[in-house]
Amino acid sequence: GDSVTQMEGPVTLSEEAFLTINCTYTATGYPSLFWYVQYPGEGLQLLLKATKADDKGSNKGFEATYRKETTSFHLEKGSVQVSDSAVYFCAPSMNYGGSQGNLIFGKGTKLSVKP
C-alpha cells in the first residue's frame, strides 16, 4: 500500500546550521507532496507543497523538490533558527479512486535548534 518514510529524529542542530530531513514515499498514481510543521502545543500548518515532477516548493527559507525518479521530497533549509524547532511531517496525497484528498503522514521528525 501507499506509505511514506521520514528520517528518524530527534534532530538537534546549532543555529545557522544546514538542515536536511529526508522523505521517500511509495504511492499509486501521481501524488501531490506536502510538508507540514507542528509547533509545540499547536495543530499542523502547511509549510510547502509540490504538485508535479521537478516542482520546487518553498516557504520561510525551507525548500523541497519533487523527485519522481527517486520518489523523494527532502526538506532543506540553509540556516536554521531557534524558532524552527518543531515537528516536521512529510505527506503525499492519494490521488485516485475514492480517497482523493487523503494524505499519508510520516511519523514526523522532531527538530531542536540550539542557540
Partner 1 sequence: DVKVTQSSRYLVKRTGEKVFLECVQDMDHENMFWYRQDPGLGLRLIYFSYDVKMKEKGDIPEGYSVSREKKERFSLILESASTNQTSMYLCASSLWGTGLGNQPQHFGDGTRLSIL
**Which residues are near partner 1 by CB under 8 A?**
31-32, 34, 36, 41-46, 49, 51, 89, 93-96, 98, 100-103, 105-108
- In angstroms, give the least distance from the CB of 13 to partner 1: 21
**What is the distance between the alpha carbons of residues 59 and 61, in angstroms, rounded to a whole number?**
5
- In angstroms, give the least distance from the CB of 95 to partner 1: 4
- In angstroms, give the least distance from the CB of 80 to partner 1: 22
- Comparing CB distances to partner 1, the nearer of 17 and 110 is 110
